Structure 1
């Protein structure tokens, strides 16, 4: 296996490139640690939505709808405020139309590359944030913690390993998600009519006019039932929806099937993510974002059991870890 890991450029920006067999990937450490490209170079598949050179200025201004943006905390929080375990948190309101805080503090700041290289089976890169009193996020999220992500590329596809460790004395809410943007179709000769998907969703959260959960569920429509079993176009309706995760046979995943290529793109996120968002930019027909989250949107402001809303508190020295995988396999039968 020909594995490579090296510093280079992507559309004029500093990048760490990984190569393994017929796969390649690019990570942008200075733009939110975004793994912005994942490709099958032999078959010409661009699996993730990438910004073109002409789109780079817009991407840097809003780096949330390309690649794999890192959301900590994920999604929206009412007025940017909540209280938890005796601490009051106040985040900047950065979504004027809802008056909420949106998407956290790490998707648009530099990440440190602590290591990159190869071994017999893979190429890899490790990025990290060491949050203390001097970090830009600390005034809003007053905890000291270590946050690392290891991406590895091999013949098995792309692997993401996340670790978050509370280094402070106070219990720390661990709230994380990824705004992963998939091209659909991802094969150059396929069309949106060739694409269907399934997703391990459970209940749909009811959202209010500010896109915040009310604490109640809504009945699933026919297309959403097909998301759970059988498959449906990712563009069957405009979606900006929030769901509980319901793993099947221990697997929590979205599977995108290309009937023309007879291939399945699998995003197995791991069971540590208890919630899903899904957004398809008004059924645009080109890309959509299945977003795994540990917690429900606005979780600390919901008067519901912690397990139901995925609200995780890390004690001093405690870590949260999860592994996700993206890979392609043949459709059987």
Structure 2
């Protein structure tokens, strides 16, 4: 049942399937964030139309076992790193091997850890919650990534949709490598009366990054096949094939994913801006009702790929510097009406 328009705008503390969580409301949108488990934004809804855009963790045990397949998990660093190791400016990093079948490190350190609530509130036109991670010598992550730094993740909800602003601040005395992404899980169909065949997806990609048997880049870029050309042009079913593919993004002001429900005549737009130069596209078995358009700052395994950083997207964050990126999720109606 859809929530009536009389819902109160603002931020409130709730229990979400056993987790302490915060619910953000700004009509017609609603979002839910779980700071204690990955700082994960696990719900983004249109309460007027009863659309659920994000794959929500209704099976809590599966959520705990597979936290990256629900909501918007933070990947720092994103995806895979060969043998869990790489070198940056003379320092060798060794991450734990958590993908034993391929002997890789996978998805970083923050997708299942508690985040601090640094702030929350309401303005005249929006409501927001701000989460943070601060890494120093006292934290476990420092063992593997010996840099003092802070990540600030701010979600705000307004009539323009869901805004995500992420900032990374290098508080150390040497440069640090910055590799960040989000394993965004999109629920499709997002409308209760629609079917998977009612949906097409567009993704702003220009070529595919060739991956080897360990899902690591070979250094080659491949032309898009016929289905991928449709993905990058007029759109195609998000389930046209089982996919776990890596792509370079089109960074010309239109770096986004657009999921269209042809029956409802409405689209979900995921505009990630121009700070994310690569995408992963994952849809599991192409029949589980979700897919993941994953924006990443750099190429998978970027420090180990034998290409310059201008090609891999590896970022050097210098001492005292702050890196910031903003993304937005919102609906767009075919008749020109836009909540976004």
Q: Could you state the TM-score of these two structures normalised by the residue count of structure 2?
A: 0.95
Is the 2:206–2:224 Cα contact (8 Å) retained in structure 1?
Answer: no
CA distance in 1, matches of 2:23, 2:225: 42
**CA distances 1:104-157 after superposition (whole Å, capped 9, x unpaired):** 000010000011111110110000011101112110001000100100011111
Superposition deviation, residue 285 in structure 1: 5.0
CA distance in 2, matches of 1:134, 1:3: 39
2:191 is matched with which residue: 170, 187, 212?
187
Matched, 1:134 2:143: no
Q: Identify unmatched segments of 5+ residues in structure 1.
A: none
CA distance in 2, matches of 1:245, 1:319: 23
Residue 90 of structure 1: aligned partner: 94
Is the 1:163–1:321 Cα contact (8 Å) retained in structure 2?
Answer: yes
Instruction: Provide runs of 4+ in structure 1 moved above 2 Å.
Output: none
Residue 61 of structure 1: aligned partner: 65
Superposition deviation, residue 332 in structure 1: 4.8
CA distance in 2, matches of 1:234, 1:8: 33
Report the RMSD for the aligned CA atoms in angstroms.
1.1
**CA distances 1:202-234 after superposition (whole Å, capped 9, x unpaired):** 110110000000000122111100011011001
Name the SS of the counterpart of 2:60 in structure 1: helix
Name the SS of the counterpart of 2:143 in structure 1: coil
Matched, 1:5 2:8: no
2:166 is matched with which residue: 162, 165, 169?
162
Is the 1:235–1:285 Cα contact (8 Å) retained in structure 2?
Answer: no
Residue 258 of structure 2: aligned partner: 255
CA distance in 2, matches of 1:44, 1:64: 24
Superposition deviation, residue 2 in structure 1: 4.7
Counterparts of 1:194-233 in structure 2, within 5 Å, are: 194-233=198-237
CA distance in 2, matches of 1:185, 1:223: 20
**CA distances 1:235-294 after superposition (whole Å, capped 9, x unpaired):** 11110000011134x121000011101111100011000100000002125110000000
Name the SS of the counterpart of 1:64 in structure 2: helix
CA distance in 2, matches of 1:304, 1:311: 10
Superposition deviation, residue 20 in structure 1: 0.5
Name the SS of the counterpart of 1:307 in structure 2: helix
1:41 is matched with which residue: 36, 47, 54?
47
Superposition deviation, residue 26 in structure 1: 0.6
Matched, 1:279 2:282: yes
Q: Identify unmatched segments of 5+ residues in structure 2.
A: 1-6
Residue 34 of structure 2: aligned partner: 28
**CA distances 1:169-205 after superposition (whole Å, capped 9, x unpaired):** 1111110000000011111111111100111111101
1:265 is matched with which residue: 268, 271, 286?
268
Is the 2:147–2:176 Cα contact (8 Å) retained in structure 1?
Answer: yes
Matched, 1:312 2:318: no
Is the 1:3–1:121 Cα contact (8 Å) retained in structure 2?
Answer: no
**CA distances 1:4-59 after superposition (whole Å, capped 9, x unpaired):** 1011210111001100112111100010000001111111111100111xx10221
Matched, 1:145 2:119: no
Counterparts of 1:237-252 in structure 2, within 5 Å, are: 237-248=241-252, 250-252=253-255
Residue 303 of structure 2: aligned partner: 300
